[in-house]
Structure 1
Amino acid sequence: MADDTPLLVTREGPVVRATMNRPERRNALSTAMGEAWDRLLADLATDRTARVLVIGGAGGHFCAGLDLTEVASDETPEQRLAKQQARNRRVGQRFADISALPQVVVAVVEGSCHAGGLGFCCAADIAFAAGSARFAAPEVRRGLVPAQILPWLTRRTGRTAATRLVLEAGVIEAAEAGRIGLVHQVLPDAAALEAQLQKTIAAVLEGAPGALAETKGLLAALGPVSPKGYAEAGAAAFARTASSAEAAEGIAAFRQKRKPNWAG
C-alpha cells in the first residue's frame, strides 16, 4: 500500500529520486510522509556521493499540500494548538533543509501543486512543470494561513505575484506559473518533462560537486529566505488558525465540496 511507503526513494548512481507516494490523496503530506522526508534529508545532508535530488509525485500529481484529515481532530483546543504549532514549525524547517542540501534539487511537477506542495517546488533549486500542472495556495479558503510556504513562494516569484496568489487563493495553470517565475520552464507533457529533466541532470553532472555545493552556499549567503523570528511567528499563526472555528468550517466545506459560510 502507498501509505506503507509514503515517500518512494530510488537511486541511480549519483541521482536520487524522491517520489511522494499517496496518489489516492494527490500525494497530500501526512505525518508519515513528513517523517520519511526528514530521514531522507538527514541522510542526504552528509552524503557526498549523491549529486542530484529529483522531487516528484506519483499518479500524475505533485503534492496537494497538508493532509487536512490530520488538521481536524477531537483533541482539546490546547492540544490542537500545540500539535499544529509543532507540525508547522517542522514543515518550515523541512523546506529549509531541502534548500540547504549540497545536492542540486530539481522539482518536476505534474497535476496538483497546492499549498505545501508549493513549498517543495519553491525550495528546490530548479523547477519544471508539465502543461497539466496546476498551482494554488488555497489556505485562506480553508480558514488557514500559508505560513511556511510564503517565504519560499515570495523568494521564487517576488512579493507582488506571491501576494496575489495567496490572497485570491485560486488555481493558476502551468503557463501562468511559468510567466510569474514559479517554475523555470513548462513542458507540454510528461515525456517532455522527463526529457528536460535528463538534460538538466546531465548539465549538473558536468559541474564539480564541491563547486556546486559552494555555489549554493553563496546563493544562500545573499540573504535569508525570511527575517529572524518569522518561522516561529508563522508556526504560531498557523496553529491559531488551524485551531479556530474558521478552520473547522473551511475544512468541513472543503470535504463537503461546498462554499464556507463566509463566502455566502
Structure 2
Amino acid sequence: MTETPVLLTREGPVARLTLNRPQRRNAMNNAMGDALDAALDALAADTEVRVVVLSGAGGHFCAGLDLTEVGASGASEAERAAAQQARNHRTGQRFVRLSALPQVVIAAVQGAAHAGGLGWVCSADFAIATQDARFCAPEVRRGLVPAQILPWLVRRMGRSAAMRMTLRGDVIDAAEAGRLGLVHQVVADASALDAAVAAIVADLRQGAPKALAETKKLIAALGPLSPAGYAEAGAEAFAKCAAGPEAKEGIAAFQEKRAPNWAS
C-alpha cells in the first residue's frame, strides 16, 4: 500500500494538516517533505480556511528527521553532502512557510516532538500539548547540529532555554516545556487536547480573517527570525556534520540502541 505521508482535510474554516507516518513516529523523509510542500502551497492559496491545526498520526507529533535517509549511501561524499545541505535548507524553509501562512496555525502535540518536530511546534502560532508529550533536541547526540530549528527555539523560548535544550539534548516533559515557554498550554489527554483546540478556534472565529492575517504580518515585521544568510550557513553546517564520522557513529549508535563512542 502506498503511504500518504501528509493528510490535509477541511472542516469548514478549519484545515487539519496531519503528519502521517505513524510507524516511524512521523519522522520526516523526502516523500513527507514533498507532500508538505504541496500542502503548504494549497493552504497559502486558500482564502476560505482561517485556522490550520497541525498534528501527528498515531499518538506522536513528529520525531524529527528520518535518520535512515541521513545515513543513506550516495555516489560520492561530495554529492551526499550537497544533498544533505539542500535537504536541510528545504526543511528550514518549510518552517518559514508554515509561520507565514495567512491562517492561524495551532500545533496539537502528543507523544514525541523531537528535533525537527520542534521546528513545527515553534513555527506554529499556538502550541498545545498533552501531559504525556515529550520534547527533545537530540542532534548533538547524533553527531549533527540543530541548524534549522535553532532560530525558532530561540524566538519561542529565548536564547538561554534554547541553549539548554540543544546542548544538553535530553528529553523534557510537557510540564517543563510549558514552564520554558515551548508550549502555551498543557492538557491532560487527547480529549482535553481536542477541547483546547476547539476553544482556540472558537476565539479565533471572533476575529476578522484579514485582520488576523495582517496582525501576523505585523508581528513578523517586528524583527527577522535570524540574521541574513543564517539558513544557508546552517544548512552548510548540518551537511558538514552529516557527512562526517561523528554523524556516522551517532546515527549507528542510535539505531543500535547503544551509547556512541564519545560517551564512554
Q: Distance in 1 between matches of 2:19 and 2:39?
A: 12
Q: Distance in 2 between matches of 1:74 and 1:12?
A: 42
1:4 positional shift: 1.7
User: Where does the alignment leave 5 or more consecutive residues of structure 2 unmatched?
Assistant: none
1:126 positional shift: 0.4
Q: Distance in 1 between matches of 2:166 and 2:227?
A: 19
Q: Distance in 2 between matches of 1:106 and 1:62?
A: 13
Per the alignment, residue 182 of structure 1 pairs with 182
Q: Which SS does the other structure have where 1:135 is aligned?
A: strand
Q: Distance in 2 between matches of 1:263 and 1:213?
A: 47
Q: Distance in 2 between matches of 1:74 and 1:215?
A: 46
Q: Distance in 2 between matches of 1:223 and 1:259?
A: 40
Per the alignment, residue 28 of structure 2 pairs with 29
> How far does the alpha carbon of each residue in 1:225-257 deviate from its partner, in whole angstroms, 9 at most, with x for none?
111010000000000001011000000000000
Q: Does 1:213 align with 2:208?
A: no
User: Where does the alignment leave 5 or more consecutive residues of structure 1 unmatched?
Assistant: none
1:32-181 to structure 2, matched below 5 A, reads 32-75=31-74, 76-181=76-181
User: Alpha carbon RMSD of aligned pairs, Å?
Assistant: 0.7
Per the alignment, residue 6 of structure 2 pairs with 7
Q: Distance in 1 between matches of 2:13 and 2:30?
A: 28
> How far does the alpha carbon of each residue in 1:75-128 deviate from its partner, in whole angstroms, 9 at most, with x for none?
111111100000001001000000000000000000000000000000000000
> How far does the alpha carbon of each residue in 1:197-243 deviate from its partner, in whole angstroms, 9 at most, with x for none?
00001111110000000000000000011110100000000000010
Amino acid corresponding to residue 226 of structure 2 in structure 1: S
Q: Which SS does the other structure have where 2:227 is aligned?
A: coil
> What TM-score results when the alignment is normalised by the length of structure 2?
0.99
Q: Which SS does the other structure have where 2:59 is aligned?
A: coil
> What TM-score results when the alignment is normalised by the length of structure 1?
0.99
> How far does the alpha carbon of each residue in 1:11-68 deviate from its partner, in whole angstroms, 9 at most, with x for none?
1011000111111100000111111110111111121111011000011000000000
Q: Distance in 2 between matches of 1:78 and 1:167?
A: 28
Amino acid corresponding to residue 52 of structure 1 in structure 2: V
Amino acid corresponding to residue 140 of structure 2 in structure 1: V
Q: Which SS does the other structure have where 1:232 is aligned?
A: helix
Q: Distance in 2 between matches of 1:205 and 1:44?
A: 17
Per the alignment, residue 199 of structure 2 pairs with 199
Q: Which SS does the other structure have where 1:237 is aligned?
A: helix
Q: Does 1:232 align with 2:226?
A: no
Q: Which SS does the other structure have where 1:161 is aligned?
A: helix
Amino acid corresponding to residue 173 of structure 1 in structure 2: D
After superposing on structure 2, the runs of 4+ consecutive aligned residues of structure 1 that deviate more than 2 Å are: none
Q: Distance in 2 between matches of 1:46 and 1:72?
A: 36
Q: Distance in 2 between matches of 1:146 and 1:19?
A: 23
